[in-house]
Amino acid sequence: MWKDILEIGNDCRERFIELTHVPELTSLDIQLAGISDLSGNYRVGRSNPDNHTLFYTRSGAGKLYTETGTYNLQSNVLVILPAKSPFIVELAERESHWDIIWFNLSDSLKWQSLRDKETTIHTNQDLSHLYHLLELLYQEEIATLRQALIPVIGYHLLNTLNISDGHHQEHYRINQLFQEVDNQLHFAWNITNLSLNIHYSAPHLHRLCLKGFGRSPMQQVIYLRMKRAKYLLKHTSWPMAQIGSQVGYPDIFNFSKRFKKSEGVSPSQYRKQFKAGNLS
């Protein structure tokens, strides 16, 4: 009865998030993900899938066939299909639509808790956050910005599946901490208030930052400050004192000294080089 099927009509629109475009997915053991707006002809079957599959219905309706039965998939329903479990999915009706997000998770150690589960249907789910994160990931061309999304996606995916993974939760919390720093660069950040903010000891925070960013906590703060300062020097006509104050250096001498140590030139020289076309 079970066989591999791939019937996708011309009215279906799918945005595939794959490793060739988003290699950062490998850290989450995600083989493939997608955002699909389906209508007309859509029927997909897997006879012996080697990965775990998740379908989440954003709107519309689909139908799922498994060895344990037939299921109608309405809005806000999450389906978890373990590896090696055959299935067929299709639109509920030929004239209807079915808008979903989906993931193919490797049958790896990270997702091993899914191996022995039966097909699971969760109703009344709200995974709009995962949908928006996938949209951002699909559209983002800058690798460093994609990389920042990965731990957030991992955190929400693990929470959705009720899987504990301290490693990804720590990455999520570290990224959240430095997002807050980036939003308040004028604040007098130091190792004490950074540690209190995230509720980690200073040595533990130091280890996590070295692992995640290749920099110490305060080096990461300086990195974010210099990044913002360079942007403001390029794209505004603000005076040096105002830029220095904006990024946490109210003393213009300290700002100039720190900037030159980081970038090799003074802030004013950096601005002149940009205006002369020597910087991109």
Q: Tokens 């475009």 sit at which residue?
A: 21
- Name the band, by pLDDT with cuts 50, 70 and 90, for residue 167: low
- Average pLDDT, stretch 163-180? 74
Q: Pick the residue with more confidence: 117 or 187? A: 187
Distance (Å, rounded) from C-alpha 46 to C-alpha 87?
A: 6
Q: Pick the residue with more confidence: 172 or 21? A: 21
- Strands 62-66, 30-39: parallel, antiparallel or unpaired by DSSP? unpaired
Minimum mean pLDDT range among 4-8, 149-153, 169-173, 213-217: 169-173
- Average pLDDT, stretch 217-233? 95
- Name the band, by pLDDT with cuts 50, 70 and 90, for residue 110: confident
The answer on pLDDT for 280 being more than 70 is no
pLDDT of residue 169: 67
pLDDT of residue 276: 84
The answer on pLDDT for 212 being more than 60 is yes
- Average pLDDT, stretch 122-151? 91
- Name the band, by pLDDT with cuts 50, 70 and 90, for residue 199: confident
Predicted TM-score of the model (pTM) = 0.64
Q: Tokens 């039966």 sit at which residue?
A: 118
The answer on pLDDT for 210 being more than 80 is yes
The answer on pLDDT for 94 being more than 90 is no
Percent share of the chain, pLDDT over 70: 96
Q: Across all residues in the chain, what is the average pLDDT?
A: 91
Distance (Å, rounded) from C-alpha 158 to C-alpha 168?
A: 9
pLDDT of residue 166: 58
Domains (range + CATH), the chain: 5-125 (2.60.120.10), 165-280 (1.10.10.60)
Distance (Å, rounded) from C-alpha 231 to C-alpha 279?
A: 12
pLDDT of residue 27: 87
Distance (Å, rounded) from C-alpha 279 to C-alpha 143?
A: 21
